[in-house]
Amino acid sequence: MTYLVGIADPIHASGVAWLEEQGARVVQGEEAIGPRLAELDALIVRSRTKVTREVLERAVRLKVVGRAGVGVDNIDLEAARARGVMVVNAPQATTEAVAEHTIALLFAVARSIPQADASMKQGKWEKKRFVGVELAGRTLGLIGIGRIGAAVARRARGLGMQVVAYDPYLNPEAIRERGAEPVASLEDLYARADVVSVHVPLTEETRGLVGRDAFARMKEGVILLCTARGGVVDEEALLEALESGKVYGAGLDVFAQEPPGATPLVTHPRVVATPHIAAQTREAQARVALDIAQEVWAALTGGELRWRVV
């Protein structure tokens, strides 16, 4: 049987080639989510395309939606479940890339690297302006310690940082095995952490999780990092905390609305902002394309699924 696979958002050519080698017909871009939608057996998306109830209702032949990455908040999971459409993702391929980007943002904030570089490019030599903070000996607090959180923990320990973590889905021993000291609550984490890094998916439970109350409980001069999902951090509350000085600086790769535009938060002098690129390495994108291609093909052909969400 020949399957028609739609790829709505660009993925690495290796994934496309692998599907075609299996005998799949592939359509890409607007054609996939538009005129050919009703013919698709499978749909692959990244974070840009929203797989809404309406999309699923129009995709009458659809058997599986594949998310080339981790988060599935852009897919209506309940609608997929109701229509008997499987949802799979590729959660492992981008772990190292996102962890590295998290640490890169931490250094960038702690040492004002983007601001110093911009100053140099203007012909200035503002040595006294850019006095940073050291990371060795400080405490990193991880909100969530799944694959990415654990990878961040390993890197932070290599920098001489202490690592604590809160994750209600893991027991204390599992958190220790992932390289962090468990804490009993977010309040405990906020009280101890010099740096808070967010590594949880966006759900109704986590939306706005890091808000005014959270910032009020954090230490003075805390650094906030988020490479998880926009919406977990209350951006208005974060801006207030930056203005008050409660937050020393923030490194943000994700935003509640993407692209956010030149908002007061994005343009704040103590914010390092990147356009959702934590997973954007050559190596990670090649891995994720092949992983999701293989997972979608397994769903279509009755193979064993490694990462089924619905």
* Dist. CA 240–CA 224, nearest whole Å: 13
* Residue 160 and residue 59 share a domain: no
Report whether 254 contacts 226 (CB < 8 A). Answer: yes
The answer to the question of residue 307 being in a domain is no
* Residue 248 and residue 142 share a domain: yes
Alpha-carbon Rg of the chain, whole angstroms? 21
The answer to the question of residue 308 being in a domain is no
The answer to the question of residue 18 being in a domain is yes
Q: How many domains does the chain have?
A: 2
* Residue 67 and residue 163 share a domain: no
Report whether 139 contacts 186 (CB < 8 A). Answer: no
Active site residue 138: no
- pLDDT at site 294: 98
* Residue 197 and residue 63 share a domain: no
The answer to the question of residue 233 being in a domain is yes
Q: CATH no. for residue 71?
A: 3.40.50.720
* Dist. CA 9–CA 193, nearest whole Å: 38
* Residue 149 and residue 44 share a domain: no
* Residue 224 and residue 153 share a domain: yes
For residue 106, the enclosing domain spans 95-273
**Which tens digit of pLDDT belongs to each residue from 163-177?**
999 999 999 999 999
**Which tens digit of pLDDT belongs to each residue from 198-226?**
999 999 999 999 999 999 999 999 999 99
* Residue 205 and residue 160 share a domain: yes
Q: How many CA atoms lie within 13 A of 173 on its CB side?
A: 0
* Dist. CA 125–CA 87, nearest whole Å: 53
Cis, peptide link before residue 259, omega less than 30° from 0: yes
The answer to the question of residue 116 being in a domain is yes
* Residue 202 and residue 129 share a domain: yes
The token duo for 184 is 């009993």
* Residue 128 and residue 47 share a domain: no
* Residue 99 and residue 89 share a domain: no
The answer to the question of residue 255 being in a domain is yes
**Which tens digit of pLDDT belongs to each residue from 266-283?**
999 999 999 999 999 999
Phi-psi region of 234 (alpha: psi -120 to 50; beta: other; left: phi over 0): beta
pTM score: 0.92
The answer to the question of residue 309 being in a domain is no
Q: Which of 67, 276, 287, 295 is catalytic?
A: 276
- pLDDT at site 1: 86
Q: Which of 46, 178, 229, 287 is catalytic?
A: 229
Active site residue 276: yes
- The H-assigned helical ranges of the chain are 13-21, 30-33, 53-58, 77-83, 95-111, 113-121, 147-158, 172-177, 186-192, 212-217, 235-244, 282-301
What residue type is 245 in one-letter code?
Answer: G
> Tens digit of pLDDT per residue, the chain (310 long)?
899 999 999 999 999 999 999 999 999 998 899 989 999 999 999 999 999 999 999 999 999 999 999 989 999 999 999 999 999 999 999 999 999 999 999 999 999 999 999 999 999 999 999 999 999 999 999 999 999 999 999 999 999 999 999 999 999 999 999 999 999 999 999 999 999 999 999 999 999 999 999 999 999 999 999 999 999 999 999 999 999 999 999 999 999 999 999 999 999 999 999 999 999 999 999 999 999 999 999 999 999 999 999 9
Q: Which of 78, 177, 258, 283 is catalytic?
A: 258
Active site residue 240: no
Sign of the CA dihedral with 9 first, then 292, 231, and 272 last: negative
- pLDDT at site 92: 95
* Residue 44 and residue 142 share a domain: no
* Residue 104 and residue 78 share a domain: no
- Find the farthest-apart pair of alpha carbons in the chain and give their distance in angstroms, rounded: 68
The answer to the question of residue 202 being in a domain is yes
